[in-house]
A = this chain, B = another copy of it.
Amino acid sequence: MTDTRRLWSEAVNRLEPYVPGEQPKAQKLIKLNTNENAFPPSPAVHRALTAAEVDRLRLYPDPNSQKLVNTLADYYCLTPDQVFVGNGSDEVLAHAFYAFFQQAQPLLFPDVSYSFYPVYCNLYDIRFQKVPLREDFSLVVDDYLQPNGGIIFPNPNAPTGMAIPLADIRRLLIANRDSVVLIDEAYVDFGAESAVSLINEFDNLLVVQTTSKSRSLAGLRLGYALGSAGLIEALGRVKNSFNSYPVDHLAEVAAVAAFNDDDYFQNACTQVIATRAYTVAELKALGFDLLPSQANFVFAKPQGQSAKAVFDALRERSIIVRYFDKPRIGDYLRISIGAQSDMEALIAALKDIAPH
């Protein structure tokens, strides 16, 4: 092949793309590696995808996804101009990085966190500085009180699963009013406190959530940002300079149906939390060290065996978890909370694997 790199923009060479968790093709696996929900989406989602809605695909979707925006505004007690929707929270985050974090001062985020953040920084040539979590992996907001062009962290954090209280986020916002503080709440529905209640108080707060985890819609690609109208306007300007119609018609219809079935959502979250409690107790009994998780996964350190060895042994038994070969976290496994039966199979496998 000829050297097509001569045709690339220079910037493409500096990109270091994100590597998502494996989506194995094999059936019959127990898949605990990408924090998906154990439950299918609400049956209301399937009912909403009628033949008439499919026929309507011949038309463009509403570029503003107004029905979905209104549904989310009602759900979170906000106004529609405080809501932005996109093609998964990854796209919403990408637009937020462009809209807010191209600044003279560096963006701050934890050294152990969602590994897509530095990837966005490379994409848009954004300066960043990693702020180390404390020795016990706790995130202390005082560590972020330094000159910055923005602050972002997940709450609960990933891959630790550890949450910080709302009072800490409020304290950070009071002390940091002139750059955007983005709280990535992908996992908030499994027990942490959301910062949505602070939006009317702080115009520099942006909260990003997703339907991928607690609404069982990872396959649908629907994320959203909640914040002051001025921040939402900036996101709209970026979106309308990139893709006028990021949310397809079926995704809008499905997401509206999912938010309208709150009982199903509450019940699924309750079951995930119960299964997490079971999993934590069993892993502790097996001698694992666990960080306190408020997410739909646990971050667990095996004793007497390396994390990599346990990862490989589980894989041989058709159980896929996530192992990160990275500083500080190479001794841990991130294990998604699947169905109760999946977790029982995991515990049985770990007993089998354990050194005798």
Residues of B within 8 A of A21 (CB): 60
**Copies of this polypeptide in the complex:** 2
**0/1 interface trace, chain A 16-38, chain B, CB 8 Å (1 if under):** 11111101000000010010111
- Whether a CB of chain B sits under 8 angstroms from the CB of A254 is yes
A230 x B11 contact (CB < 8 A): no
Instruction: Please state if B17 and A237 are interface contacts (CB–CB under 8 Å).
Output: yes
CB distance from A346 to the nearest CB of B (A): 18
Report B-chain residues with C-beta under 8 Å of the C-beta of A288: none
Q: A20-B63, A56-B219 are in contact. List 16 more A-B contacts (CB 8 A).
A: A3-B230, A6-B178, A7-B180, A7-B204, A8-B100, A12-B238, A17-B236, A31-B59, A40-B54, A57-B216, A58-B219, A87-B87, A91-B243, A221-B245, A221-B246, A221-B247
Contact residues of A with B, CB < 8 Å?
1-12, 15-21, 23, 31, 34, 36-41, 45-46, 49, 51, 54-63, 87-88, 90-91, 94, 98-103, 119-120, 122-123, 178-180, 203-204, 212, 216-221, 228-231, 233-234, 236-251, 254
A and B contact pairs by CB, cutoff 8 A, 30 listed: A1-B228, A4-B234, A7-B179, A7-B230, A7-B231, A9-B234, A18-B240, A18-B241, A20-B63, A23-B62, A23-B63, A36-B58, A36-B59, A38-B58, A41-B57, A45-B57, A46-B54, A57-B216, A57-B218, A57-B220, A59-B219, A61-B218, A87-B91, A88-B243, A90-B243, A91-B242, A120-B241, A220-B248, A220-B249, A250-B250
